[in-house]
Amino acid sequence: MKTSTTLRAVAIAGAAALLAGCATSNDSSSGGGDTAGVTKDKIKVGGVLTVTSATGYSTGGANLGAKARFERANAEGGVNGRKIDFIGVEDDGMTPDKGAAAAKKLVQKEKVFAVLPVSAPQFGGAEFLEQQKVPWVGWATGPFWCGKESAFGFNGCLAPKPGQKTQTWWGNQVGAQLGGAKGKKLWVQATDSTASKYAISTISKSFTAAGFDLAGSSAALPSQAPPQDWSPYVNKIMKSAGGKAPDVVVSVMAGGKFNTGLYGALKKAGYKGLITDATSYDPKAIADPQAAQALDGVYAAPQFEPYESDAPEVARMKADMQKVGAPMDQHAATGYWSADVFLKMLEKAGKDLTRDSFFKATTGFSYENKGFGRIQFPAGKTESNGCGALVKIEGGKFVVAQHLKCYDNTTL
């Protein structure tokens, strides 16, 4: 009799534990479906970044940038009664297969509500996230961001299709730095990666719309490793403007080794024109003396108001980042502003949060902030937000050359 009672008690206890476990599981995902990752007091999110890569390129700083913004939001009480449960990021190693696996892990195993920050030049998870209708937010640097219901670039879409709108801010800011673009020649250098090759058309248009003449472009460089001998590429550039060097060289290559290699070789060949890119606004890039020498005089083009600015929005961002030990680099800022835009979208979605309510809230969404400019959806799914700045690398330091400004887009 005693044994029977004991067994019955164990069975009841086991059933209770099983039910409790099921209840906990259901609570953590709010029943799955549209409310996966949402509970009554939390919203679970995680991101995908290129933390490591064969070229040395890394967007890893976006992890702590996003964390900094989320921690301030949580300290202020969260959004509509919920705090952000940021579980960190997955590394895609700048390979599409790893990016796809990372996205699947976050959605299927971690049960996140949204994937952010996303900052990966060769991100392979775009189609999966679109199929699953999972929102993803980040630095929209490639064509895989554009035209998708689920994708939200804090800066809009930088790789629109022909016939859609593309940015002119970069060309206009460089033109302003040179005192005018009329009569000046431009060269655009890319690698053979999908994003880099596509950037030739969009960036060329940005500069020609601002008044520059295109001397030429190339995507002949392999994307996995810089060449041992730069001379064939440099020689082509130095003769591209009617047998002379162009006035401006724009790099749309992802990877510090690519840029420092090209710039060092150009300087050695006697190039005296303006050099600009979208990635060299990074303290790590100038930490190495040889790299700093190659980058000296280069104009980096971030899509946010630089850290060196005295704008109140920048001061607040820096204070938030210091609390979590975030690096003051471009990627930390893109992570921060991606998180900031996401929080604003959550506010509009309201307390009854589902993925459906989130997507509905982003239709007609508009937000301005002097830290990164402006963004509107759905317009931001097919065109850039049109905003950017210029920072000159000078003597191992960053100096604001042109403060953040927004320009009208043009048809690609």
- 3 located within any domain: no
Q: What is the pLDDT of residue 10?
A: 38
Q: State both tokens at 40.
A: 């009554």
Are 82 and 122 contained in the same domain? yes
Q: Could you tell me the CA-to-CA distances from 37 to 130, 194, 229, 341 in Å, in that order?
A: 17, 32, 50, 19
Same structural domain, 401 and 253 = yes
- pLDDT tens for residues 49-95? 999 998 788 999 999 999 999 999 999 999 999 999 999 999 999 99
Q: C-alpha angle 412/214/183, rounded to 5°?
A: 115
Residue 185 and residue 226 in one domain: yes
* Per-residue model confidence (pLDDT) at position 56: 81
Residue 260 has pLDDT above 60, yes or no: yes
Same domain, 180 and 85: no
| Shared domain check, 258 and 202 | yes
- Domain assignment present for residue 113? The answer is yes
Per-residue pLDDT at 17 exceeds 50: no
Other beta carbons within 10 Å of 405: 16
396 and 249, same domain (yes or no): yes
| Per-residue pLDDT, 142 | 85
Angle subtended at Cα 193 by Cα 189 and Cα 199, rounded to the nearest 5 degrees: 50
Could you tell me which of 402, 373, 384 has the C-alpha nearest to residue 209?
A: 384
Cα–Cα separations (whole angstroms), residue 104 to 48, 90, 138: 11, 11, 17
Are 154 and 174 in a shared domain? no
Q: Is the pLDDT of residue 25 over 80?
A: no
Q: Are 258 and 280 in contact (CB under 8 A)?
A: no
Output the domain CATH number for residue 204: 3.40.50.2300
CA distance 229 to 337: 38
The total domain count for the chain is: 2
- 281 with 258, same domain: the answer is yes
Percent of the chain whose pLDDT exceeds 90:
82
Q: How far apart are the first and last CA of the chain?
A: 84
**Residue 35: pLDDT over 90:** no
pLDDT of residue 127: 97
The predicted structure's pLDDT at residue 196: 86
Please give the torsion angle defined by the CA atoms of residues 45, 50, 52 and 56, in that order, rounded to the nearest 10 degrees. -150
On whether residue 23 sits in a domain, the answer given is no
Statement: residue 5 has pLDDT above 80? no
Residue 341 lies in a domain: yes
**pLDDT at residue 8 is higher than 70:** no
At residue 78, the pLDDT reads 98
How confident is the model at residue 19, as a pLDDT? 37
- Binning pLDDT at 50, 70 and 90, where does residue 6 land? very low
Paired tokens of 243? 């047998």
Residues 129-157: what's their mean pLDDT? 95
Q: Is a pLDDT exceeding 90 seen at residue 194?
A: no
pLDDT band of 178, cuts 50, 70, 90: very high
Instruction: Indicate the Cα dihedral angle 221, 224, 228, 233, nearest 10°.
Output: 10
Amino acid residing at 299: Y
Residue 21 has pLDDT above 70, yes or no: no
Higher-scoring residue by pLDDT: 317, 32: 317
Name the pLDDT band for 159 (thresholds 50, 70, 90). confident
CA dihedral defined by 140, 337, 156, 110, rounded to 10 degrees?
Answer: 50
Does a structural domain hold residue 79?
yes
Whether residue 173 is found in the same domain as residue 229: yes
Where does the pLDDT of residue 38 fall: very low under 50, low under 70, confident under 90, or very high at 90 and above?
A: very high
Residue 351 lies in a domain: yes
Q: Are 254 and 317 contained in the same domain? A: no
Range of the domain at 172: 165-304+392-411
Contact 259, 190 (CB under 8 A): no
- Mean pLDDT, the chain, integer: 91
The 3-class SS string of the chain reads CHHHHHHHHHHHHHHHHHHHHHHHHHHHHCCCHHHCCECCCEEEEEEEECCCCCCCCCCCHHHHHHHHHHHHHHHCCCECCEEEEEEEEEECCCCHHHHHHHHHHHHHHCCCCEEEEEECCCCCCHHHHHHHCCCEEECCCCHHHCCCCCEEECCECCCCCCCCEECCHHHHHHHHHHCCCCCCEEEEEEECCHHHHHHHHHHHHHHHHCCCEEEEEEEEECCCCCCCCCHHHHHHHHCCECCECCCEEEECCCCHHHHHHHHHHHHHCCCCCEEEECCCCCHHHHCCHHHHHHHCCCEECCCCCCCCCCCHHHHHHHHHHHHHCCCCCHHHHHHHHHHHHHHHHHHHHCCCCCHHHHHHHHCCEEEEECCCEEEEECHHHCCECCEEEEEEEECCEEEEEEEEEECCCEEC
Residue 22 corresponds to which tokens in the numbers above?
């099921």
Are 322 and 186 within one domain? no
User: Do 40 and 130 belong to one domain?
Assistant: yes
Predicted confidence (pLDDT) at residue 326 exceeds the cutoff of 80: yes
9 within a domain of the structure (yes/no): no
Q: Count CA within 13 A, CB hemisphere, residue 360.
A: 9
Asked whether residue 2 is domain-assigned, the answer is no
369: nearest Cα among 397, 396, 406: 406
- One-letter amino acid for residue 401 of the chain: A
